[in-house]
Amino acid sequence: MYLFTSEVVSPGHPDKCADIIADSIVDEVLGKDKDARLASEVFVAGNHIVIGGEVKSKIKFSQSDYENIVKNALLNIGYSANPHFTKEQCLHLDDIEVHVFLNEQSPDISTGVDQSSGEIGAGDQGIMFGFASNETKEFMPAAITYARLLCDKVYEYAKAHPHELGVDIKTQVTLDYGSKDNFENCKPLKIHTIVVSAPCVESMSIEKVRELISGLIDEAGLPKELFNKDETIIYINPTGRYVNHSSLHDSGLTGRKLIVDSFGGYSPIGGGAQSSKDYTKVDRSGLYAARWIAKHIVAANLAKKCIVQLSYAIGVARPVSVSVDCMGTHVKGVSDEILSNFVLENFPLTPKWITDKFGLDKPSKDTFLYANVAAHGQVGNPDYPWEKLDSLEFFKNILK
């Protein structure tokens, strides 16, 4: 055996609630002022929602505005006044208290970011990593792809059946690659272990919960060539009881689920979170660009998997460095050096170029909302603009 595991949490997990609230603020602010600058942190503990950080915008939001954003975000997640869970077991919307501690962005940052030429300097220094693999049709690694598939299935059921399940859900998938060589060459053999934890109402027996979730696993659409239920180890609510949940029983904070948000541990991750930040913050925009490049390299059959690293200096538009690492899986005639130089020479990768390409300053229901990205992962969803394979032929030309 050679095993590798990734986990996923649902939008109802307290850490994800914090991310979603933070990005709901980003959506609201940028929707009214696309030139706004913001980076807010959200802390969820018990009934308290604490928002702190910085905002620079021509639109001023009141305490009441922020309270409405928080309540709408939690309602969309699934935290309404659910009568099937008591106020001691689960967060109830009418009990929350919102505390806002937001300051103006430092003018020292603005000087370097908003340049007179119209260029946008990086909103901070830092490193970002994009990754892609040919293990799945989404060009994402397998374990996190299937953990997300399961989490989405159970979460959607929970939202539709609040009299049975709560929305604070975690899933985990372990793949058996058989050997390290198979792992390096992106060849999983089977799903070895599945873990699902989902809160249930007090009246449901553990037997009923396990029967219910076992059926959802069957319906989730796991690949038949990898999933044999008779051979897969499956743990469902392994402690035997999971009723108490939400931020009443586990606090949440923005940026605490970076592995879940990105590549499930298959790749290095950058130094900062994406949620809560506007598009000038390269922790966000740099990740999207690096993922777009890595995905194109793998989709163009230039490599089986690929890591792209970008780095930036605050106030400087172009990246300080660009590197491509295909971990020895690139095709003949294409080296990591060739790919790195190709990217560096053909793509500016400034915050403005990235923003314009993916429309990062215009989140909307017709394109994407940052709150939805926070809920379902920063990468891997084919509907995101930075997941579009719109330059595939250009990348394939490297071989010509």
Inside any domain, residue 218: yes
| Domain shared by 317 and 376, yes or no | yes
CB atoms within 10 A of CB 287: 28
* Residue numbers of the domain that contains 342: 126-133+281-399
Q: What is the pLDDT of residue 109?
A: 61
Q: What is the pLDDT of residue 400?
A: 77
Q: What is the pLDDT of residue 108?
A: 62
Q: Give the end of a domain, one of 195, 228, 243.
A: 243
Inside any domain, residue 219: yes
- pTM of structure: 0.96
| Domain shared by 312 and 239, yes or no | no
Inside any domain, residue 73: no
Q: What is the pLDDT of residue 116?
A: 62
Q: HSE on the CB side for 159, CA within 13 Å? A: 14
Q: What is the pLDDT of residue 122?
A: 86
Inside any domain, residue 167: yes
Inside any domain, residue 94: no
CA-to-CA distance for 358 and 386, rounded, in angstroms? 6
- CATH number for the domain including 381? 3.30.300.10
Q: Give the end of a domain, one of 225, 243, 261.
A: 243
| Domain shared by 285 and 380, yes or no | yes
* Residue 32 near residue 278 (C-beta atoms within 8 A): no
Q: What is the pLDDT of residue 113?
A: 77
| Domain shared by 151 and 230, yes or no | yes
CA-to-CA distance for 309 and 286, rounded, in angstroms? 9
Provide the H-helix boundaries in the chain.
Answer: 14-32, 63-77, 107-113, 142-160, 180-184, 206-219, 258-261, 282-299, 336-346, 351-358, 370-376, 392-396
* Averages of pLDDT over each 10 residues, the chain, 400 residues: 98 98 97 93 97 93 96 95 91 95 75 71 90 98 98 98 97 98 97 98 96 98 96 96 93 96 96 92 96 98 98 93 97 95 96 96 96 97 97 93
Buried/exposed 157-194: b ≥16 CB within 10 Å, e otherwise: bbbeebebbbbbbbbbbbbbbeeeeebeebebebbbeb
Residues forming a β-bridge with 101: 52
| Domain shared by 235 and 286, yes or no | no
CA-to-CA distance for 44 and 251, rounded, in angstroms? 6
| Domain shared by 300 and 372, yes or no | yes
Q: What is the pLDDT of residue 111?
A: 63
CA-to-CA distance for 269 and 259, rounded, in angstroms? 7
What radius of gyration do the chain's Cα atoms show? 22
Residues forming a β-bridge with 99: 50
Phi, psi of 193 (to 5 degrees): -145, 140
| Domain shared by 234 and 287, yes or no | no
* Residue 26 near residue 279 (C-beta atoms within 8 A): no
| Total domains, the chain | 2
* Residue 1 near residue 31 (C-beta atoms within 8 A): no
Inside any domain, residue 165: yes
Q: What is the pLDDT of residue 223?
A: 97
Q: Give the end of a domain, one of 243, 267, 294.
A: 243
Inside any domain, residue 14: no
| Domain shared by 228 and 291, yes or no | no
Inside any domain, residue 250: no
| Domain shared by 237 and 347, yes or no | no
